[in-house]
């Protein structure tokens, strides 16, 4: 079947699984939509398909006022791909073009600006400027509808170079002036769906979209068990918790708050930023931390025939693989917590935050500091860290220095193979630590870090390209067994490993990387 015919079938059935994977535009209306748009399905001959919202906008189409195609989850393909286009899309999402221009993007990727432009146009139908422009338009809409900022302040906070550029882009993308777009804010009979709620609680409220089921309790359990005192906290009871953490951003600091309770395909988030120019970057970092661009349908399909993973996926649909809000922080924590229990690693990390983290100008609840800057850690004695050997302190300092001066790159567009190789060159960093950083900091969806594959499972190579999710399903099953053991429940069918078997630390030949103890960072 022609791929476009398959896409049209998804549009006809309003299949939300494909939201963000492609967009469709209607020639008779001049509008582009997400596949699940509730409007009447247009005739096939009037429909054109685009890989990105920017490509649709470049084709002269404006965003639908019913389905908000600019607010859909990103394509999971960009996280899975390690090529130039995948790396470029992740960097553009992080705001690199707004901060450093196309030349800066190309320099980070190691290609000429012309090569980057050509590859992006060929693969996603839009160049880096058009992609960044579409992102700026969405940021402007969020600020217009959730803050009381003047239009000029919104323009520059969203990354526009001039008021005229801001006005022209908003009119072109939304067919509304900035004033009309603001008038359509939530609570005022908005024609666009809510991006949050301008409720006076401070900060910028957002609804961070995800596709498919979302196992919120498990990811909040994971983050809560590892929250570092001073820089992170988890408040509330299971089922209605809020994860709060400090952020170090390009233009200042911030605080993110994410609620556990999920809505109809989103997580509620509130960002308190010292500089609103950091909105795009902060949003993308929280999306990566909570793995909101994942494709749980593809993962379930891949694992559906595996005798061990299939029941685990059925028991915990939508299990996510936590990423990192700060890649340097994640790398340091991985080294610091090597071989320790979760509780011990958390205590050490908290000591490090209080000893070397920069204090917030205005503390917020239990949040008082940011995680230490790598330049500070590179020169730190770290005598305050109890029980940490001189060799381990040296490893942390060496890693911090390499991150601070750019010898090791862990940004969203980093070459994953090269980054892992550079990490392994640091004395004291072993293969499981490097693999863990690759999985969490670089968002690689295909890293197997559990112990040996469970008895009766398929060849782990068959789990590609989603072995990171296999790792988390096996870890989650082990956690469930431990909790059940404390309650006295006997082992259940589908448990990934026997009660007496724990993940080993020997290499997994299929992955080329080492395995990791469940008690890791």
Same domain, yes or no, for 136 and 175?
yes
**pLDDT digit string, tens, across residues 79-113:** 777 789 989 999 998 889 989 999 999 999 999 99
Give the C-alpha distances (Å, rounded to integers) separating 335 from 211, 282, 328.
33, 25, 11
Q: What's the rounded Cα separation, in Å, for the pair 234 and 255?
A: 13
Task: Categorize the per-residue pLDDT at 490 as very low, low, confident or very high, splitting at 50, 70 and 90.
Answer: low
Query: What are all long-range contacts of 491-499, with beta carbons under 8 Å and residues at least 24 apart?
Result: 493/311, 494/308, 494/311, 494/312, 494/315, 496/308, 496/309, 496/312, 496/454, 497/451, 497/454, 497/455, 498/455
Q: What are phi and psi of 228, to 5 degrees?
A: -90, 125
**pLDDT digit string, tens, across residues 218-228:** 999 999 999 99
Same domain, yes or no, for 252 and 111?
no
Which of these three, 16, 44, 71, is where a domain ends? 71
What is the mean pLDDT of the segment spanning 365-384?
A: 96
Residue 189 has pLDDT above 90, yes or no: no
Task: Categorize the per-residue pLDDT at 508 as very low, low, confident or very high, splitting at 50, 70 and 90.
Answer: very low
Residue 78 has pLDDT above 80, yes or no: no
Percentage above 90 pLDDT, the chain: 61
Indicate which CATH number applies to the domain containing 49: 3.40.10.10
What is the pLDDT at residue 75? Answer: 78
- Asked if the structure places residue 193 within a domain, the reply is no
Which of these three, 38, 71, 104, is where a domain ends? 71
**pLDDT digit string, tens, across residues 58-74:** 999 999 978 888 878 77
Q: Which residue has the tokens 């609620």?
A: 259
How are beta strands 47-50 and 204-209 bridged, if at all?
Answer: unpaired
- Lowest pLDDT segment from 282-286, 384-388, 465-469, 478-482: 478-482
Indicate which CATH number applies to the domain containing 163: 1.10.10.60
Strand partners, 513: 508
How are beta strands 266-273 and 252-262 bridged, if at all?
Answer: antiparallel
Q: What's the rounded Cα separation, in Å, for the pair 207 and 217?
A: 18
Torsional class of 252: left (φ above 0), alpha (ψ -120 to 50), beta (otherwise): left
Residue (of 509, 472, 511) closest to 309 by Cα position: 472
Cis status of the peptide bond prior to 317, with omega within 30 of 0: no
Same domain, yes or no, for 257 and 395?
yes
Strand partners, 19: 22
Task: Categorize the per-residue pLDDT at 196 as very low, low, confident or very high, splitting at 50, 70 and 90.
Answer: very low
Task: Categorize the per-residue pLDDT at 246 as very low, low, confident or very high, splitting at 50, 70 and 90.
Answer: very high
- Asked if the structure places residue 469 within a domain, the reply is no
Same domain, yes or no, for 400 and 360?
yes
Q: What's the rounded Cα separation, in Å, for the pair 500 and 258?
A: 37
- Asked if the structure places residue 459 within a domain, the reply is no
What are the structure tokens assigned to 516, written together? 């990791």
Same domain, yes or no, for 63 and 148?
no
The DSSP secondary-structure symbol of 242 reads: E
What is the pLDDT at residue 184? Answer: 73
H helix or E strand, kind and range, residue 402:
helix 390-404
DSSP3 helix / strand / coil % (the chain, rounded to 5): 45, 10, 40
What is the pLDDT at residue 65? Answer: 79
Task: Categorize the per-residue pLDDT at 397 as very low, low, confident or very high, splitting at 50, 70 and 90.
Answer: very high
Per-residue b or e along 301-335, where b marks 16 or more CB atoms closer than 10 Å to that residue's CB = ebbeebebbbbbbebbebbbbbbbbbbbbbbbbbb
Query: How big is the chain, counted in residues?
Result: 521
Task: Categorize the per-residue pLDDT at 286 as very low, low, confident or very high, splitting at 50, 70 and 90.
Answer: very high
What is the pLDDT at residue 29? Answer: 94
Residue 430 has pLDDT above 50, yes or no: yes
- Asked if the structure places residue 492 within a domain, the reply is no
- Asked if the structure places residue 475 within a domain, the reply is no
Indicate which CATH number applies to the domain containing 429: 1.10.340.30
The DSSP secondary-structure symbol of 87 reads: H
| Structural domain of 158 | 77-183
Distance of CA 34 to the CA centre of its chain: 21
Task: Give burial (CB, 10 Å; 0-12/13-18/19+) of 180.
Answer: middle
Same domain, yes or no, for 64 and 109?
no
Same domain, yes or no, for 146 and 248?
no
Residue 166 has pLDDT above 60, yes or no: yes
Mean per-residue pLDDT of the chain? 86
Task: Categorize the per-residue pLDDT at 296 as very low, low, confident or very high, splitting at 50, 70 and 90.
Answer: very high
What is the pLDDT at residue 497? Answer: 32
At residue 246's C-alpha, the angle toward residues 386 and 166, to 5°, is 155
CB of 323 closer than 8 Å to CB of 447: no
Model's pTM, two decimal places? 0.85
What is the pLDDT at residue 96? Answer: 92
Which of these three, 440, 462, 487, is where a domain ends? 440
What is the pLDDT at residue 339? Answer: 86
Same domain, yes or no, for 351 and 404?
yes
Q: Which residue has the tokens 């392994």?
A: 424
Q: What's the rounded Cα separation, in Å, for the pair 215 and 225?
A: 16
Residue 429 has pLDDT above 80, yes or no: yes
- Asked if the structure places residue 7 within a domain, the reply is yes
What is the pLDDT at residue 303? Answer: 94
Same domain, yes or no, for 153 and 109?
yes
CB of 68 closer than 8 Å to CB of 145: no
Strand partners, 75: none
Residue (of 317, 295, 301) closest to 463 by Cα position: 301
- Asked if the structure places residue 61 within a domain, the reply is yes
Same domain, yes or no, for 225 and 143?
no
CB of 207 closer than 8 Å to CB of 269: yes
CB of 222 closer than 8 Å to CB of 322: yes
Same domain, yes or no, for 103 and 222?
no
Same domain, yes or no, for 153 and 285?
no
What is the pLDDT at residue 262? Answer: 65
Task: Categorize the per-residue pLDDT at 516 as very low, low, confident or very high, splitting at 50, 70 and 90.
Answer: very low
Percentage above 70 pLDDT, the chain: 88
H helix or E strand, kind and range, residue 279:
helix 279-289
For the chain, the domain total comes to 3
Q: What's the rounded Cα separation, in Å, for the pair 513 and 521?
A: 17
Q: What's the rounded Cα separation, in Å, for the pair 495 and 481?
A: 7
Q: What's the rounded Cα separation, in Å, for the pair 107 and 352?
A: 33
Q: What's the rounded Cα separation, in Å, for the pair 116 and 304?
A: 37
**pLDDT digit string, tens, across residues 495-507:** 333 222 333 333 3
What is the pLDDT at residue 82? Answer: 78
At residue 64's C-alpha, the angle toward residues 277 and 270, to 5°, is 35
What are the structure tokens assigned to 431, written together? 């293969």
Which of the two residues, 78 and 196, has the higher pLDDT score? 78
Give the C-alpha distances (Å, rounded to integers) separating 434 from 78, 240, 343.
22, 34, 21
CA-derived radius of gyration, the chain:
23
- Asked if the structure places residue 305 within a domain, the reply is no
What is the mean pLDDT of the segment spanning 372-387?
A: 94
């Amino acid at each position: 079947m022609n791929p476009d015919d398959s896409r049209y079938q998804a549009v006809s059935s309003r299949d939300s699984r494909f939201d963000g994977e492609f967009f469709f535009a209607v020639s008779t209306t001049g509008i582009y939509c997400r596949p699940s748009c509730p409007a009447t399905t247009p005739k096939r001959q009037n429909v054109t398909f685009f890989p990105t919202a920017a490509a649709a906008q470049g084709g002269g189409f404006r965003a639908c006022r019913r389905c908000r195609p600019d607010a859909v989850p990103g394509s999971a393909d960009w996280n899975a791909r390690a090529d130039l286009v995948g790396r470029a899309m992740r960097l553009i999402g992080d705001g690199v073009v707004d901060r450093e221009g196309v030349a800066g993007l190309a320099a980070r990727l190691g290609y000429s600006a012309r090569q980057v432009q050509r590859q992006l146009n060929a693969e996603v139908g839009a160049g880096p400027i058009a992609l960044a422009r579409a992102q700026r338009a969405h940021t402007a809409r969020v600020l217009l509808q959730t803050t009381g900022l003047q239009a000029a302040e919104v323009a520059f906070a969203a990354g526009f170079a001039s008021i005229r550029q801001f006005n022209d882009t908003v009119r072109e993308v939304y067919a509304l002036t900035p004033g009309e777009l603001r008038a359509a804010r939530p609570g005022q009979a908005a024609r666009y769906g809510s991006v949050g709620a301008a409720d006076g609680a401070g900060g910028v409220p957002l609804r961070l979209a995800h596709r498919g089921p979302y196992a919120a309790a498990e990811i909040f359990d994971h983050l809560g068990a590892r929250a570092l005192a001073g820089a992170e906290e988890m408040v509330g009871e299971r089922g209605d918790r809020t994860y709060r953490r400090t952020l170090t951003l390009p233009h200042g600091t911030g605080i993110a708050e994410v609620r556990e309770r999920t809505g109809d395909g989103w997580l509620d988030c509130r960002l308190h930023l010292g500089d609103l120019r950091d909105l795009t970057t902060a949003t993308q970092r929280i999306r990566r931390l909570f793995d909101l661009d994942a494709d749980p349908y593809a993962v379930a399909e891949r694992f559906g025939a595996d005798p061990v993973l299939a029941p685990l996926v059925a028991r915990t649909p939508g299990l996510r693989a936590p990423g990192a809000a700060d890649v340097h922080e994640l790398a340091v924590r991985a080294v610091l917590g090597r071989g320790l229990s979760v509780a011990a690693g958390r205590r050490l990390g908290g000591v490090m935050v209080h000893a070397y983290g920069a204090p917030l100008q205005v503390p917020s609840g239990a949040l008082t500091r940011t995680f230490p800057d790598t330049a500070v850690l590179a020169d730190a004695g770290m005598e305050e860290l109890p029980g940490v050997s001189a060799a381990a302190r040296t490893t942390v300092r060496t890693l911090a220095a390499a991150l601070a001066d750019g010898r090791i790159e862990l940004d969203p567009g980093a070459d994953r193979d090269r980054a892992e190789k550079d990490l392994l060159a640091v004395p004291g960093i072993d293969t499981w630590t490097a693999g863990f950083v690759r999985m969490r900091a670089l968002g690689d969806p295909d890293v197997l870090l559990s112990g040996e594959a469970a008895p009766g499972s398929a060849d782990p190579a068959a789990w590609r390209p989603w072995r990171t999710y296999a790792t988390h399903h096996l870890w989650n099953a082990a956690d469930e067994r431990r909790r059940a053991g404390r309650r006295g429940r006997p082992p259940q069918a589908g448990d990934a490993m026997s009660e007496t078997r724990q993940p080993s630390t020997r290499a997994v030949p299929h992955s080329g990387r080492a395995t990791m103890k469940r008690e890791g960072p």
